[in-house]
Structure 1
């Protein structure tokens, strides 16, 4: 049985060469999020790069590094994953932080623990994933 994957974003930026470059470079993180059924996108506003993945409860995951994501994924100093809400700034929960100052800093850029944190949240929310 084929794995269900969340659809590609549907906006004008998908034709932007910068967006396409980042989408390709961060595919090792984006593809698993989409395979978990989470619509995923890259924000390129103002030269700052962040990955967003929508959750079924109206919140979303925000994936960055200590600040903005680097053009080269290997140049980041770790991952910072949070759960946020676009309309309610009081909703902010750091789920994983492997940046130099974070509690998971020994994991660095290892995607396994990062994606494990996503799966833990999906389980906690009762979201079925494939």
Structure 2
């Protein structure tokens, strides 16, 4: 297995996530639901080696991120006035750095919360609203400046939470001889091809490399699928109808479930790579159940008797 790890480029490795919090609330359903709703914030930060926890702030739940110098980040929605949006889906994010013993270290790293005062100056990031990607990028940049990023973004590794890449719509691909065939499901076909490659993998290392394509926490299929459902929810809101808002909440829940699945399976690639198949012993050809009977013994011809 060491040879497999040595041959894997650094830019393709999945960093070990920082450990989960260790307190009695971790096993409670309400805390697990909050953790699930904030997974799009905690997972990329934990992938950078930063321990995270969910706490209640002044009026809403926040993400607390521990830093190597004993300072910490507070990431959450606006607290005063309180946000009416569901946890993990605010109208904007505010990220501050604080230190329990040094108040002078307080700084605002990011603030995309909208202001009710039309005359107030807004920070440049206000245009991003509740999007998580610019938030993580800003945290990456500032912590790298301070030397407080345990796992900096490696060369060739994307620093983004969920890359937004415009993709052309799938083209209709007819089958020869069947002109009225419906358009091909190009994305489903691509995943089916990946499944076929997994079925034909000759080693657990090969299977782990395919799992990497699905479970990589920033650009893997699950991360992008979560981003897809989140975008679909935002699109549903544009209808400004009750059913559109209800649908957006359902889609946001689906996005959170997908991200939670990635959280649960974050070590599956390493576990797959560590598997060692047992060498099967060569099997001897088995004897038939009913061996053919031997040919009848040929007796020598009888000698003629002498007549008396």
- Shorter-normalised TM-score: what interval? 0.7 to 0.9
Contact 1:122 1:128 in 2 (8 A): no
**Residue in 1 that maps onto 2:129:** 108
TM-superposed CA distance for 1:117, in Å, is 0.9
**Residue in 2 that maps onto 1:83:** 97
**Residue in 2 that maps onto 1:92:** 106
**Residue in 1 that maps onto 2:145:** 124
Q: Deviations over 1:62-105 (max 9, x none)?
A: 0011116753333x120000101123333310000000034121
**Residue in 1 that maps onto 2:31:** 19
Q: Secondary structure of 1:66's partner?
A: coil
Higher relative contact order (CA 8 A, sep 6+): 1
- TM-score between the two structures when normalised by the length of structure 2: 0.39
Distance 1:45 1:109 in 2: 18
Distance 2:62 2:113 in 1: 15
- Tell me the C-alpha RMSD between the 2 structures: 2.0
Q: Deviations over 1:1-57 (max 9, x none)?
A: 331210000111101222111100110111011001000000136763111001111
Count of residues in correspondence between the two structures: 129
Distance 2:103 2:143 in 1: 21
* C-alpha distance 58-113 of structure 1, shift in aligned 2 (>3 A): same
> Which of the two has greater strand per residue?
1
> Which of the two has greater helix per residue?
2
Contact 1:122 1:129 in 2 (8 A): no
**Where do 4+ consecutive residues of structure 1 move more than 4 Å?**
none
- TM-score between the two structures when normalised by the length of structure 1: 0.87
Q: Which has the larger radius of gyration?
A: 2
